[in-house]
């Protein structure tokens, strides 16, 4: 894809603004379900480096779901998912774990 391209010929995508902007970065990965149904899911990690905004877009069968973050919030989310307790000069503290008894 080239800068300014659209993800779909017809209709808009949450990925399109990142493809259109000069400071946009788009990474795409595809997951193929191994259960035999052959379901394909694409995940797009989109970043606008000038405005410090990030979106995670999930596309499956032409239906998109998008989560949007500012850059700092995305760093917090990444740290939480990777179980890093020190991030951006602060420290995460577990207030309550609802999975434990």
Confidence class for position 44, pLDDT limits 50, 70, 90: very high
pTM of the prediction? 0.75
The arithmetic mean of pLDDT across residues 17-40, rounded, is 86
pLDDT at 1: 65
Instruction: Quote the pLDDT of residue 39.
Output: 83
pLDDT higher than threshold 70 for residue 101:
no
**Any residues with CB less than 8 A from the CB of 5 and at least 6 apart, and which?**
19
Q: Are 53 and 68 in contact (CB under 8 A)?
A: yes
Average pLDDT of the residues of the chain: 84
């Amino acid at each position: 894809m080239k800068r300014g391209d659209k993800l779909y010929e017809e209709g808009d995508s949450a990925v399109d603004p990142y493809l259109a902007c000069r400071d946009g970065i788009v990474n795409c990965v595809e997951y193929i379900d191994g259960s035999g149904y052959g379901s394909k899911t694409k995940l797009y990690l989109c970043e606008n480096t000038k405005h410090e905004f990030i979106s995670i877009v999930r596309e499956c069968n032409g239906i998109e779901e998008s989560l949007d973050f500012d850059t700092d919030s995305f760093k917090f989310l990444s740290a939480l998912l990777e179980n890093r307790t020190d991030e951006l000069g602060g420290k995460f503290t577990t207030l309550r774990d609802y999975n434990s008894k």
